[in-house]
């Protein structure tokens, strides 16, 4: 679904590529906040533009391409900071 939104809303043409998302230990993700990091990883791979090692992100991506609110934003930001991330990308709607 994420790739379809990227293609439709941002014009990414991934037809000639095989894109795979590898999760640690083959775990299953049932977390809407994982949409944005996966989309960023796909864009990074397609554009050959690495994401900084000090960058973290979270957010749900809607069918219209919007980045949606996810719960627990403060806890997510605090956790990322505690692991040394300096740049955190998340939905504007999570800011109070």
Please report the pLDDT score of residue 28 as a whole number. 78
CB atoms closer than 10 angstroms to residue 16:
5
Q: What is the pLDDT of residues 37-87, one digit of tens each?
A: 999 999 998 889 999 999 999 999 999 999 999 999 999 999 999 999 999
Phi/psi at 41 (5° precision): -65, -40
Give pTM, 2 decimals.
Answer: 0.86
Read off the CATH number of the domain in which 25 is found: 3.30.230.10
Q: What is the pLDDT of residues 7-16, one digit of tens each?
A: 888 887 777 7
Please report the pLDDT score of residue 81 as a whole number. 97
The Cα 17–Cα 3 span in angstroms is 11
Number of domain units in the chain: 1
Tokens of 91: 């939905």
* Residue 86: domain span: 2-94
The average pLDDT across 1-29 equals 81
């Amino acid at each position: 679904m994420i790739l379809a939104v990227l293609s439709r809303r941002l014009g990414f043409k991934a037809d000639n590529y095989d894109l795979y998302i590898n999760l640690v230990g083959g775990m299953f993700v049932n977390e809407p906040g994982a949409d944005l990091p996966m989309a960023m990883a796909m864009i990074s791979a397609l554009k050959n533009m690495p994401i900084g090692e000090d960058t973290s992100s979270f957010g749900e991506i809607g069918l219209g391409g919007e980045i949606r609110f996810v719960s627990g934003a403060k806890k997510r930001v605090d956790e990322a900071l505690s692991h040394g991330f300096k740049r955190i990308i998340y939905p504007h709607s999570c800011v109070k």
